[in-house]
Amino acid sequence: MIDYGGKWCLPVMVGKEDGLLAIAGVWNNIMKVEAKTWIKGKRINSLMKGVPGNECYIRFRIDLWLGDTPLMFKWPRLFALERIKDCCVKDRVPASNEEILQLCCWDRSPVTSVEVAELVEYVNLLNGVVLSAAKDKWVWTPDGAGKFSTFSFKSLVSDDSSEDVLFSVKGPRWVPLKCRIFMWRLVLDRLPSREALRKRNILVGSDMCGLCGDGVESVDHLFSACSYSMGVWNRLSEWIKVPPIFAFSVYDLLEVHRGFEGEDKAKDIVRGLVLVACWAIWKARNDKIFSNGRGDFEDIFGEVRSLGFLWLKSRSKHRNLVWREWCNYPSYML
Ligand SMILES: [Zn+2]
C-alpha cells in the first residue's frame, strides 16, 4: 500500500495485458481468489471501491466505484448492449466538453422501454460526476478512513459464517440430490474438467473445451465464458424474464435469483433452474465428448425446461403444473 499525500490507496493496477487489467504484487493473489472469497455474503472485491482519476485502471461497469453496486448490476440491460464490457471509467465519463451519450459505445442503440429507462437514469447519474486529476485509487470500504488493515480484514472474516454461499449451493429441495451434490463439486472445483485433469497429469489429449473447442476447459470457462453455455443463459434469462445473465464465474450463477423481482417461492424456482442448467451443460459436454452428442445450446435449454418441469411437478407441491404454461413462464402458478 502507498500513501499518496496522506491518503491511502492500493498501487495494484499497473497496465493492460490482452485487454485485461494486470495487477501487481500481493493484490494479484487477492484478486485471483476474489471470485471464491466471500465475506458477509459479498465478494471481497465489492468491499474495495474505486476512486477514478486521470488513469484507466478502474472499470466503468464491472468495478464498484459509483454508489453501492457495480454499474453492470445497476443497469443490466445497458451492460448487455455495451460493446466494450471492461471499458474504464475515463472512457465513459466526459472530461469537459464531451457529451455523455457521445462517449457511449453500444452494440445497438437502447430502444426498449426498459433500456431507455436505464439510459435516462444513466445520464442523470453521470451528469453529476467529475473526475479528479489525481491518479486512480482504491479504498477499503469496511474502514471509515478507507484504510486496509489485516486487523480489519480478520475481524470481518472471523465474523463471517459464509452461510449465504452455503445456502445458495445447497439449492431448493425440488432439485434432486444428485444435482445439488453436482453443484457442490462444481463450486469446489472438483469436477473432472480437462484443465483439472491436466493439472493432475491424467489428461490424454487436448485440454480445450469439450463443447466449443475454443478455450481451455476450466469450470469457469465451461459454465460462464463458453459460447454454448452463454447461449443457454440467454435463453434461460428470456424465459424466466430476468435481465441478461452475464456470469464471470460459477459464483455469479449462484446469484442470478437475487436479480429476480419476485417473492421467495419464485426465487426458489429460478435458483433451482440455474442448478438444472449447470447439470444439463455438464451432461451435454459429456455426451459430446463420449457419445457423439451434438451439444447444441437449444437442446441443452430444452433439457433444462423438461427436467425442471418433471422435477418441480413430482418433487414439490406444484402437482398441477401445465406444460404449455410452464414453457411460457416457469413461475406462472405463483
Ligand atoms: Zn467452451
Per-residue pLDDT of the chain in tens (334 residues, 90 and over written 9): 333 333 333 333 333 333 333 344 444 444 445 545 555 556 666 778 888 988 888 999 988 899 888 898 888 889 889 999 889 998 999 877 678 888 899 999 999 998 999 999 999 888 888 888 888 888 887 777 777 776 776 666 665 544 444 444 567 889 998 998 898 888 888 899 999 998 888 877 899 999 999 999 999 899 988 999 999 999 999 998 888 887 877 878 887 777 677 788 888 899 899 999 999 999 999 999 999 888 899 999 999 999 999 999 999 999 999 999 999 999 888 8
> Using alpha carbons only, how large is the chain's radius of gyration in Å?
22
Give pLDDT, residue 101: 87
Would you mind telling me the total number of residues written for the chain in this entry?
Answer: 334
C-alpha of residue 251 to centroid of ligand 1, in Å: 18
Give pLDDT, residue 21: 39
C-alpha of residue 193 to centroid of ligand 1, in Å: 11
Q: Is the pTM of this model over 0.75?
A: no
Return the axis-axis angle of helices 227-240 and 297-315, rounded to nearest 10°: 50
| C-beta of residue 186 within 8 angstroms of C-beta of residue 219 | yes
| C-beta of residue 157 within 8 angstroms of C-beta of residue 294 | no
C-alpha of residue 285 to centroid of ligand 1, in Å: 9
C-alpha of residue 287 to centroid of ligand 1, in Å: 14
C-alpha of residue 209 to centroid of ligand 1, in Å: 5
C-alpha of residue 295 to centroid of ligand 1, in Å: 11
C-alpha of residue 327 to centroid of ligand 1, in Å: 27
Give pLDDT, residue 221: 92
| C-beta of residue 314 within 8 angstroms of C-beta of residue 323 | no
Strand partners, 260: none
C-alpha of residue 228 to centroid of ligand 1, in Å: 6
C-alpha of residue 223 to centroid of ligand 1, in Å: 8
**Of 48, 275, 60, 73, nearest in space to 153 by CA:** 48
CA end-to-end span of the chain, whole Å?
51
Distance separating alpha carbons of residues 20 and 33, to the nearest angstrom:
16
| C-beta of residue 170 within 8 angstroms of C-beta of residue 180 | yes
pLDDT tens-digit profile of 50-79? 889 888 889 999 888 998 888 988 888 898
Which residues fall inside 5 Å of ion ligand 1, going by CB? Answer: 209, 211-212, 226
Give pLDDT, residue 77: 87
Note the helical H segments in the chain.
26-32, 71-74, 76-81, 89-92, 113-127, 150-159, 163-170, 177-187, 194-199, 219-220, 227-240, 250-253, 264-290, 297-315, 323-328
C-alpha of residue 247 to centroid of ligand 1, in Å: 14
Give pLDDT, residue 310: 96
Distance separating alpha carbons of residues 136 and 51, to the nearest angstrom:
6
Helix (H, G, I), strand (E, B) or coil at 294: coil
